[in-house]
Structure 1
Amino acid sequence: MENSQVREAIVELLVRIEQDSGFSHLLIDQEIKSRNIPERDEALLTEVVYGTIQRKLTLDYYLEAFVDKKKKVKPWVRMLLRMSVYQMHFLDRIPDHAIIHEAVGIAKQRGHKGVGSFVNGVLRSMQRKGVPDTNAIENKTERLTVETSHPEWLVKRWLDMYGYDMTRDMCHANLERKPLSIRIQPLKISRQAAMDELHELGFDIRPSAFSEQGIIVDYGNILRTRLFEEGYVTIQDQSSMLVTEMLNVEPGMSVLDACSAPGGKVTHTAEKMQNKGSIHAYDLHAKKAKQISQRAAELDLTIIDAKPGDARKLQEKHETESFDRILIDAPCSGFGVIRSKPDIKYNKTADDINRLAKIQSEILKNAAPLLKKGGLLIYSTCTIDKVENDDVVKAFLIENPEFVTDTAFFEQLPSMTQYSPGLSEIGLQLFPQTFSTDGFFLTRMKRI
């Protein structure tokens, strides 16, 4: 496929993601399949789409110096400029003249000669003069917003919660590529055997400190290995693995996973139970419940019963005190996974956070009675917002004195996380910059 066709696909994707508030990772996958984009071009398409979204506010700041504010610029033209500037400023594989030439070609083809001249003028002026320096922005908050391309309301919110240094580090970490991590299926292969096989294939890997099943992949495409294709390993972030480690399950237990999709934690739980016992896994949507069953089948796990169900109404399906363990990986704002899904930071609002916190509280309140006395409940989210994490847990503990945070929670953490800046009596807040994981909150409570 010609580079111009790949770049046309990139423009189309960027417009769809912004206009439809679509999930970038899903739309990228659809576009690659529908256009039959060759493997050699997949990396460029993915990098430019993610990078352009990730740096959107920075790119717009650069463009402001070269585009008259009074000029009406069509969304697709703005996207074409953004992606071209991203490649010119943040990538170094393709020479500027080639990027400009292809951008002008796309502008003429999708628009007309005048659009091509406009695009050419903007990009050549930027090439000649260079981009404006963000250090010229005097206000620290505004400068951090522009430099790291995070909406100002979100930066201010994090500043109030965590202070400037933590917020700055978090915003910068959200621009970095996170190392991929995988989890072995221990009933099929040992971690050492999997690592030996990957080493032989030329992979750059290391063991995870978060889980004895975890492997960090610094280099190598795991999707094209026998281990992945035959269900010996599955992709999962280390922070997500830690959730199941904290659940402390044993073979033969009865477990409830109240918000189970896409299924990484529940399959990990089944593996820790040696595929013995029972797990009831629920998701609000039947399609996602089916995906959980498919993932379990791929890993040869048979104890997971995945069904559609509202986590707030599970008392209609199960008796009180039915489960030894309950996992509530609650629906959340997702601000801990901005590195993987950069569009999240532009699509969520403070109202969304408050609405989600209400749902989270309702799930906790309604699922908790299903736990046996002496049982353990894990509450987790993939966000770093205190309203969804600390505040939800504190309110629940006040209203439910029969639940206490489990002190063994702290003792059983991997030793490295003992020094995490997010460790408190309420739980553990992992930040993206601390261990190069997702931003993740988790706590363990015991019913006494």
Structure 2
Amino acid sequence: MKSEKKMAKKGKSAREVAYYALISFEKEKRRLDDIVDELLGKFSLDSRQRRFLKNLTSGVVRHLNYLDWFIARLYKGKLKKMFIKTRVLLRMALYEILFMEAIPARATLFEYGELTRRLIDRKTTGLVNGILREFLRQKEKLDPQKEITDPVERLSVVYSFPQWLIRRWIGFWGTEETEALCKKLNEPPRFDLRIVRKNISPQKFKALLKEKKIAFKESPLFPDMVTVWDVQAVINAGWLDKGYCVVQDESARLPVAALEPQPGETILDVCAAPGGKFTQILEAVQPDGMAVALDVDLKRLKRVKQNANRLGLKGGLYVYADARHLPFKQSFDKILVDAPCSGQGVIRKHPDIKWRREFAELVEFSKLQQDILESAFDLLKLGGRLAYSTCTVDFLENENIVNELKEKKGRDFRMLNLSDRFPTFSAQGAIRTFPHQHDTDGSFCALIEKK
């Protein structure tokens, strides 16, 4: 096989780079964004090709089980025994036919015939062409939604989620609610922008969006937030670099809103990367307060500082440490614990998450979350407040963690009721957001006071 260096020199099509990305994901189960970014550093693609590449790779990963169901129906052998390179090419071609309707089917057949011949061999080209042509003949007859009767298997195939996760969600909310959640998580993501008032007024920023003809929707919750669907246009306009805005989901604003940081307060963010919430806190405690960002990943911590500097926010302290063993002797007025989690709530933006997680990891996350939360709680001043938040919808990582702390701390622990302040997202005194109910990422937040 040709070396990557030689391939980079010759240049490759977006489809071929997508193939390399999906093969790498299949073998390594690393973050898809990281894989794609690495390949974009090796191969020269223009902006249109890059967008096609990202749409194709994320789309195939988003609909993996669905695409495999069609392949299994049309392949005469056992799917598990099919050469993985062949299966990846078939997934890509079927995704284009099913979800990228602007591309004529005959063009897709030609492109993948050529790609298979170049990347594998002529014999496999015949197999790929045969399956794709048979799919086009039977397309209207094949429907897993109608053919599969078992609800777990049906939702797993139609919406492409692992069966263990479908079973878990059905156990929490039932089949109908789970299907609505899965359906929403498979929609193209929306992007929320937090306008940085220090650098530009919301009115002026919205005027810039109109001037550039970038469609947006105002947030019903925050006057300094808007939703856009073409975030690349915002990036191209240079507004992120100028510090006019930050890409941050509406749900991600809620933990800091619940914490209510005030000027002059000393506030610790114990899992600060990538910094969206920390920059909110840093801006709020100005001019005479102190905001401390802590993270266990030095590279990501440096990014937090870079993001704050880009927004023109000075005065933050940045500490490289493990949140389970906080290196402070002082106590804090308020603490944010935006804990590492399984990320089930952000699958719409990162569809690879559902294939990179197993139930055992949820148990590991819950232990880590318990340790971090207890460590942070011990650093609160009497009367101080702590916001515990995640971007997952699983009870094991949310309510269970808060209840564990309550049992350990007893009378020192008091959970504050957020229902009156955030009635739309109220869940037994905490905040819960769901993609299919609120059109946000899935998230959780509880506000705790130290008595």
Q: TM-score, normalised on structure 1?
A: 0.94
The aligned runs of 1:221-370 (5 Å cut-off) are: 221-274=233-286, 276-314=288-326, 317-319=327-329, 322-370=331-379
Match of 1:441 in 2: 444
Once the 2 structures are TM-superposed, how far is the Cα of residue 219 of structure 1 from its aligned partner?
4.4
Maintained 8 Å contact 2:272/2:294: yes
More displaced, 170-179 or 204-213? 204-213
Give the 3 Å change call, closer, same or farther, for CA 273–75 of structure 1 in structure 2.
Answer: same
Maintained 8 Å contact 2:292/2:317: yes
Amino acid corresponding to residue 146 of structure 1 in structure 2: V
Once the 2 structures are TM-superposed, how far is the Cα of residue 217 of structure 1 from its aligned partner?
1.2
Amino acid corresponding to residue 286 of structure 1 in structure 2: L
CA distance in 2, matches of 1:183, 1:302: 19
Maintained 8 Å contact 1:259/1:281: yes
CA distance in 2, matches of 1:199, 1:273: 32
Q: Select 2:32's aligned residue among 4, 24, 27.
A: 24
Maintained 8 Å contact 1:178/1:437: no
CA distance in 1, matches of 2:336, 2:78: 53
Maintained 8 Å contact 1:357/1:392: yes
CA distance in 2, matches of 1:206, 1:62: 37
**1:151 maps onto 2:162 in alignment:** yes
Question: Secondary structure of 2:346's match?
Answer: coil
Question: Secondary structure of 1:376's match?
Answer: strand
Match of 2:13 in 1: 5
More displaced, 206-215 or 389-398? 206-215
Once the 2 structures are TM-superposed, how far is the Cα of residue 60 of structure 1 from its aligned partner?
0.4
CA distance in 2, matches of 1:353, 1:210: 31
Give the 3 Å change call, closer, same or farther, for CA 428–286 of structure 1 in structure 2.
Answer: same
Once the 2 structures are TM-superposed, how far is the Cα of residue 380 of structure 1 from its aligned partner?
0.4
Question: Secondary structure of 1:65's match?
Answer: helix
Match of 2:435 in 1: 432
Match of 2:414 in 1: 404
Deviations for 1:375-421, whole angstroms, at most 9, x for unmatched residues? 110000110000000111111112213121112x22222xxxx244x
Maintained 8 Å contact 2:29/2:355: no
Q: Select 1:176's aligned residue among 187, 209, 212.
A: 187
Extract unaligned runs of 5+ from structure 2: 1-7
Question: Secondary structure of 1:182's match?
Answer: strand
**1:127 maps onto 2:130 in alignment:** no
Match of 1:216 in 2: 227
Extract unaligned runs of 5+ from structure 1: none
Question: Secondary structure of 1:199's match?
Answer: helix
Maintained 8 Å contact 2:166/2:178: yes
Amino acid corresponding to residue 37 of structure 1 in structure 2: L
Q: Select 2:392's aligned residue among 352, 371, 383.
A: 383
Give the 3 Å change call, closer, same or farther, for CA 424–257 of structure 1 in structure 2.
Answer: same
Once the 2 structures are TM-superposed, how far is the Cα of residue 210 of structure 1 from its aligned partner?
3.4
**1:46 maps onto 2:46 in alignment:** no
Maintained 8 Å contact 2:337/2:387: yes
CA distance in 1, matches of 2:11, 2:176: 41
CA distance in 1, matches of 2:82, 2:176: 37
**1:164 maps onto 2:175 in alignment:** yes
Once the 2 structures are TM-superposed, how far is the Cα of residue 4 of structure 1 from its aligned partner?
7.2
CA distance in 1, matches of 2:353, 2:288: 38
More displaced, 28-37 or 288-297? 28-37
Give the 3 Å change call, closer, same or farther, for CA 361–426 of structure 1 in structure 2.
Answer: farther
CA distance in 2, matches of 1:307, 1:318: 10
Maintained 8 Å contact 2:416/2:429: no
CA distance in 2, matches of 1:174, 1:40: 25
Maintained 8 Å contact 1:211/1:242: no
CA distance in 1, matches of 2:137, 2:11: 24
Question: Secondary structure of 1:411's match?
Answer: coil
CA distance in 1, matches of 2:287, 2:121: 62
CA distance in 1, matches of 2:404, 2:127: 56
The aligned runs of 1:83-162 (5 Å cut-off) are: 83-130=92-139, 132-134=142-144, 135-162=146-173
CA distance in 1, matches of 2:49, 2:63: 21
CA distance in 1, matches of 2:116, 2:149: 36
CA distance in 2, matches of 1:440, 1:251: 27
CA distance in 2, matches of 1:272, 1:209: 21
Count of aligned residue pairs for this structure pair: 438
The aligned runs of 1:186-201 (5 Å cut-off) are: 186-201=197-212
Q: Select 1:393's aligned residue among 402, 419, 427.
A: 402
CA distance in 2, matches of 1:385, 1:275: 38
Once the 2 structures are TM-superposed, how far is the Cα of residue 275 of structure 1 from its aligned partner?
5.2
CA distance in 2, matches of 1:3, 1:217: 33
Give the 3 Å change call, closer, same or farther, for CA 419–444 of structure 1 in structure 2.
Answer: same
Once the 2 structures are TM-superposed, how far is the Cα of residue 109 of structure 1 from its aligned partner?
0.6
More displaced, 176-185 or 47-56? 176-185
CA distance in 1, matches of 2:170, 2:36: 33
Question: Secondary structure of 1:328's match?
Answer: strand
CA distance in 2, matches of 1:156, 1:112: 41
CA distance in 1, matches of 2:59, 2:403: 38
Amino acid corresponding to residue 319 of structure 1 in structure 2: K
Maintained 8 Å contact 2:392/2:444: yes
Maintained 8 Å contact 1:150/1:345: yes
Maintained 8 Å contact 1:4/1:102: no
CA distance in 1, matches of 2:269, 2:428: 24
CA distance in 2, matches of 1:96, 1:403: 61
Once the 2 structures are TM-superposed, how far is the Cα of residue 36 of structure 1 from its aligned partner?
2.0
Match of 1:185 in 2: 196
CA distance in 2, matches of 1:213, 1:323: 28
Maintained 8 Å contact 2:12/2:43: no
